[in-house]
């Protein structure tokens, strides 16, 4: 089985962190094809960054399917371009936010999400509601660090993440924590061991879900919303609207 994991941003060190988490989660015999975005923002921190990253990501997914990928993981917690990716892909496409929230709802009645910058909080709050997790998610918190600081200042990132997690447990009544950034994937085990509650990393959750769905033979529906994009070249020839 081949699972294509696409980091939509252009930071290769982050792709390395993501790939390590995905490969650690994958079963023997599953090949993880990790890829970095090309000519995309260095990090995704807002709607503009998402929009700029999506075209290259879609092309990467199409190319990965041509190479034999059975499923795809979008390794950005904003789940950018998820619906569009499902249009162009035959195999399952899993966003790490959706996967993490589904796992969190299974493991705990109440959880909080901890992300990087405050500007990401409303984006994630909207995703929480869209994915039906609003009743379970007590709060979306931010450590107030840029995404790239997870690589450049790991000591501060760890300290702030731990402090925010303890606040989530004390103030939110969180029974589990969801890490709201793919770049936090390597902090999952450490944080869970330190605070004593489940900590869910979306890369791991999405990899296992992609593996399970592809293994079961499930494919993306091509009837209705996720149908392949129409070829409009014939419309130009006939003058159709």
Please write the tens of the pLDDT for every residue from 140-198. Answer: 999 999 999 998 999 999 999 999 999 999 999 999 999 999 999 999 999 999 999 99
- What average pLDDT does the segment 7-21 reach? 97
- Can you give the pLDDT at residue 231? 85
Q: What is the pLDDT of residues 18-63, one digit of tens each?
A: 999 999 999 999 999 999 999 999 999 999 999 999 999 999 999 9
Q: What is the pLDDT of residues 98-111, one digit of tens each?
A: 999 999 999 999 99
Which regions of the chain carry the CATH code 3.40.50.12500?
A: 2-95+204-224, 97-202
Model confidence band, residue 233 (pLDDT cutoffs 50, 70, 90): confident
- Can you give the pLDDT at residue 235? 73
Helix (H, G, I), strand (E, B) or coil at 140: strand
- What average pLDDT does the segment 211-222 reach? 97
Fold of 2-95+204-224: Rossmann fold (3.40.50)
Output the CA–CA distances (angstroms, integers) from residue 115 to 3, 24, 183, in the order listed. Answer: 25, 22, 10
- Can you give the pLDDT at residue 49? 97
pLDDT at 239 over 70: no
DSSP letter (8 states) at residue 7: E
- Can you give the pLDDT at residue 181? 96
Q: Residue 138 belongs to what H/E stretch?
A: strand 137-142
Output the CA–CA distances (angstroms, integers) from residue 152 to 14, 73, 146, 164, 189, in the order listed. Answer: 11, 25, 10, 20, 20
For domain 97-202, give its CATH number from 3.30.70.360, 3.20.20.70, 3.40.50.12500, 3.20.20.100.
3.40.50.12500
What is the C-alpha separation between 67 and 207, in angstroms, rounded? 18
Output the CA–CA distances (angstroms, integers) from residue 19 to 5, 32, 105, in the order listed. Answer: 8, 7, 25
Q: What is the pLDDT of residues 66-97, one digit of tens each?
A: 999 999 999 999 999 999 999 999 999 999 99
Residues 84, 57: contact at Cβ < 8 Å?
A: no
Q: Report residue 161 as tokens.
A: 């993440």
Model confidence band, residue 236 (pLDDT cutoffs 50, 70, 90): low
């Amino acid at each position: 089985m081949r699972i294509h994991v696409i980091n939509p941003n252009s930071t290769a060190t982050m792709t390395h962190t993501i790939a390590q988490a995905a490969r650690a989660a994958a079963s023997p015999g599953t090949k993880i094809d990790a890829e970095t975005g090309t000519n995309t923002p260095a990090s995704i921190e807002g709607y503009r960054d998402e929009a700029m990253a999506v075209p290259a990501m879609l092309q990467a997914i199409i190319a990965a399917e041509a190479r034999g990928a059975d499923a795809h993981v979008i390794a950005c917690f904003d789940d950018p371009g998820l619906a569009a990716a499902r249009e162009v892909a035959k195999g399952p496409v899993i966003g790490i936010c959706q996967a993490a929230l589904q796992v969190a709802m299974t493991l705990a009645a109440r959880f909080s999400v901890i992300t990087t910058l405050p500007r990401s909080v409303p984006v994630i709050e909207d995703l929480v509601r869209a994915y039906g997790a609003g009743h379970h998610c007590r709060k979306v918190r931010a450590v107030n660090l840029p995404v790239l600081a997870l690589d450049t200042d790991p000591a501060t990132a760890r300290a702030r993440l731990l402090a925010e997690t303890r606040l989530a447990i004390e103030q939110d009544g969180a029974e589990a924590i969801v890490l709201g950034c793919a770049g936090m994937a390597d902090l999952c085990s450490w944080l869970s061991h330190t605070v004593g509650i489940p900590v869910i990393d979306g890369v791991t959750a999405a990899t296992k879900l992609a593996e399970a769905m592809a293994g079961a033979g499930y494919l993306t529906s091509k009837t209705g919303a996720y149908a392949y994009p129409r070829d409009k070249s014939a419309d130009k020839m006939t003058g159709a609207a």
